[in-house]
Structure 1
């Protein structure tokens, strides 16, 4: 490992802690969202080792794969084989993204207990991503979520384009709240608010979270998923934490984007998030050195440097 700057990050809360949570759950999306855009198919054994390394680093929620049609995202065509070969670590959840009823069928066949569905906050992205309109997408999710919860599965709802859409521009806060509430009312246990193209700013984040609160949605049911297109991911996370959010999505090494939104760049890097949380005195349970080593290893497998600033600073 590279040498750290002595004394940083300080593991003590700042003098004015505000309403920061004592601990945060990191929802690691690297194995699924992080790898789905890779043009070269990553070997199954590498994906399995990636999951093992992330679990060994202390991450307790690892989004493993997606039961999407192989022709849509070839990288995830091995979903069933990956789950069959997975050496599940004690106390670790391995949720799987399912796009539709057929995806749910495959998840149930594989014995999955945690799934996620992926909805859109805008008409254009719903049609591009799901081939359905903003309203009609909920007809599909009503069946999927209902069957899943009826089978004892825990369902998470992703809502994309919560802050801006490259085709429609700024997305009205009330439109996002209405779409998010629909997912929660269908039975999703948690709603992850996605800044798919990375255009959010801290003030916008706070305004959206306040609007959900005013609509009766507790912050305990919300998570955030930021992309770093404009370098705002950590600032936006800070704003969300101060509003009480306790689940943050991130991707080891900053891998990933969105295959249906060309302007979407990498996710918030888990290492960068952990470094900030350490400095704020917020518990997370992750071994930063082990995580950096894992992302450096994966970067080597992919043949390019990790975009994470912290990996760049600490890796050999």
Structure 2
């Protein structure tokens, strides 16, 4: 018996009941019995009752020809009168596309059957004839009965309950459990306290705002976040580069004159690379060796002293 619910539990209950107008999942979630079902148009067989009902759909995957691509082999000959004759062959290849055909309806799970009711598709599988229930993905599964099978889909929030009650009904049949008697015992055994708790949870979840983002919305949010992160990264790189440019280079305690009169000072006719290496090794940024063209493109207000201008 589950008497304590977290905020997450409340949200799950609210979402499940919001998406499914046929079932109140609260008694089941609290451990007091089966869901309360509101599907009066379904006619049950003797000793049959509905465990769960929900909106669902069946679907088929087909290949559709959307066009053709072709190529001509051979050559064309034009006569003197302007008529054109082609010799050779023409080959064409169909262009195909995978198409998902969806048939909306309702799925009803009882202690005896799994039934789908739709305007364009329907099936009625007896529990004792179902041979396989295989999950395809988060929102669909394959159900097989004798020589027939269907792909069934539903909202992922209620698909869990659909699969739960199908497997529950199949397991009860295999074990010889009478689910009708189980249901009657649960109904008669529920206490006033449990009924009151169901009503409290029902009241709390009835008007609870539950927002679920679609897959497209999630993709849009992720794209926006990544775009913002990329934008801030670019700004960070630009600012960091700018600060690095503005940051003054190393300065020693030597004066400019001392730097210009260092031993082994390169002569004006020395190699350009040798002059650069010499002043790099001094560890002082106040002297720069450059070419005239490079210096012309630099800021004229630079604090550095020009020592060499190479043409």
Q: TM-score range by the shorter chain?
A: under 0.3
Higher relative contact order (CA 8 A, sep 6+): 1
TM-score by length of 1: 0.22
The structure whose residues are more often helix, as a share, is 1
Could you say which structure has the higher strand fraction? 2
Larger radius of gyration: 2
